[in-house]
Amino acid sequence: MPFGYNGKILRVDLSNKEISVDEPDEHFYRTYGGGSCLGAYYLLKELEPAVDPLSPENLLIFTGSVVTGAPAPGFSRSAIVSKSPLTGAIGESQAGGFFGSELKFAGYDAIVVKGKAEKPVYLSIRDGEVEIKEAAHLWGETTGETQAIIREELADERIVVTVIGQAGENLVRYACVLNNLKSAYGRMGMGAVMGSKNLKAVAVRGHKEVEMKDKDTVLRLAKRFSTNFKAESPDNDGLNDLGTAQYVMGQNEDGQLPTRNFQTGTMEGAENLYGQKMKETILVGRDGCYACPVRCKRVVKAADPFPVDPSYGGPEYETLAMLGSSCGVDDLVAVCKANELCNKYGLDTISTGGSIAFAMECYENGIITKEDTQGVELRFGNAKAMLEMVEKITRREGIGDILAEGVKRAAEKFGAGAEKFAIHVKGQEFPAHMPRAKGQLVLSYALSPLGADHLVSEHDPAFTPGAPSFFSDRVKPLGIQEPLEMRSIDYKKVRRFLYFQNVFSLLDTLTICFFTFAPVRYFTFDELVELVNAITDWQTSLWELLKLGERRIAMFRAFNVREGFTSEDDWLPERMFEPIRTGPREGQKVDKEELKKAIKLYYEMAGWDADGVPTKGKLAELDLFWIADELAKHGKFER
Ligand code: SF4
């Protein structure tokens, strides 16, 4: 019996209603770990290139990892992995909450879904038993209604329901998936893939404990975290008190709060979106994830000027910025309402905000008119218009049908120069962080196989001259010894980015919450290794774990290469090369020549060729030689 994982991966073919189980050996689990690394394995092995992401052939993989469900802070997360309908590249989205741990308790490490059900269905997985259940009566319902009906049908108020809303059914390319209504697998359109398969929900409940080699050590470290995190980890304390909304004012004061579609980084009225304001006005609770005392999620309730339902939680920093400041909106209740609608209909708040802000800028520049918006005065700052757009996008009504395709496709449709307002990388809308202010973010956005993604590496501020030594001390075991200037992208920054990227990729592979671990939060790298060993009995090391992270990135890259992505896709939108217009960072921009040099250097450091293709040598070193064969089959290099 393995420790940490079940050794069982559930297979469901919705086309022919076949259910089976894979039982990989320890070598597989130790090589691929879980999360999107495990998902990428299935995609590379079983998906032909150029498959339409919304066709039955695409795979949809729900997965935790070898350590998910262990009773310690941060081991709650899970990922959904698929070919993304938004980018056409590899897609993954992660969420906290309770789905990952519950799947483990139900006896499975992952679920691989393929095919398409003839009529809407949902999956019920209870203590190892799997049923495909009819869901025609749920189609058209919100996430909240669906969850309530499924819980009633299965007579289990505590069953964890992972569900899509109408946006997923309508194949909005950035539709998301929710678990327990508050934890979103937000990015890259995993909800649309689910909708394309006629899969409305997956309901999971289990009672099996995760077997661990050394439970006492896990419980000891978990207790130490709970007792000390507020006093010893400044960022974790802030997350508990104000949630990620704690970042709004710092971002604004430093000129990094995306405002009016990333034209600038400061907004008058930003204090209205701040966590403190939320706490003093509409906060009614804090929520969190399995086994974590941080409880960084917000629960808000309001009556006026918009009623806000607390069942759908409250907005994260990303939501406050993308549906707030980036749309020029400083009305907290309006943003909370938009957050509720996005969670209710199953829309990614980041891409939704990005798409609306893009349309607002097109409107203000005369590229689209009131006729195109069906009478909506789509100007920055118009909160009501922002909310109307959320409804239109969900229903694909009028201009909403175009915006539901994401900004890249919408800009092609609008023409007339709209492309310069489409802020995306590889088709994925920017999250709420400003590359023009942070060098590490320039590299993250340009180079991530996922497109614009703020969670592929730690950001610069904690590792700049003058930052508290708490942070810099934690990364010394990686060989990172000196702080670096915030905006630089020189060789030292590229090196640090590569190392941080491997760390974050490792955390993603193990579906661990980075809000609980180094480089910035409570647990150290040593404790990470100690916890993985206590759970799995692998006698592992930081070196082996970082290789796991590196392997995932190489697999992602190989998947994209096979799909036709090239080094030309590793780039930023034109706006990033133009100076920020106002505020403390006025005049700052990314330098194109410096970026070209940094990308070339990164490829060399990563073991990729000049086109950004992982070399045979690097793939072999990562125990991925089968991928070299796979790429050779598709003409990427000789066998
Ligand atoms: S820090 Fe927040 S997001 Fe992370 S596990 Fe804890 S409650 Fe969940």
* pLDDT for residue 639: 55
* pLDDT for residue 435: 96
C-alpha torsion sign, points 329, 332, 336, 337 = negative
Contact 111, 38 (CB under 8 A): no
| Shortest-distance atom of ligand 1 to CA 521 | 1
Residue type, 72: A
Give the closest residue (by CA) to ligand 1 atom 2. Answer: 296
Ligand 1 mean position, distance from CA 448 (Å): 24
Give the closest residue (by CA) to ligand 1 atom 8. Answer: 289
User: How many CA atoms does the CB half-sphere of 252 hold within 13 Å?
Assistant: 24
Ligand 1 mean position, distance from CA 295 (Å): 6
Ligand 1 mean position, distance from CA 506 (Å): 17
- For the record, the structure tokens of 440 come out as 């590490």
Extract the residue ranges of the chain whose pLDDT is less than 70: 638-639
Rounded to 10 deg, the angle between the 525-536 and 542-562 helix axes is: 90
Q: Which residues sit with their C-beta closer than 6 Å to ligand 1?
A: 73-74, 76, 96, 239, 288-289, 292, 294-296, 513, 515-516
- How far apart are the C-alpha atoms of 569 and 453, rounded to whole Å? 14
Q: Is 112 helix (H, G, I), strand (E, B) or coil?
A: strand
15-33 burial string, b = 16+ CB within 10 Å, else e?
eeeeeeeeebeeeebebbb
* pLDDT for residue 234: 82
Calculate the dihedral angle through the C-alpha atoms of 586, 587, 590, 592, rounding to the nearest 10 degrees. Answer: 160
* pLDDT for residue 635: 80
Cα 360 versus chain centre, distance:
25
| Shortest-distance atom of ligand 1 to CA 77 | 5
Residue 516 class from Cβ within 10 Å (0-12 exposed, 13-18 middle, 19+ buried)? buried
* pLDDT for residue 630: 87
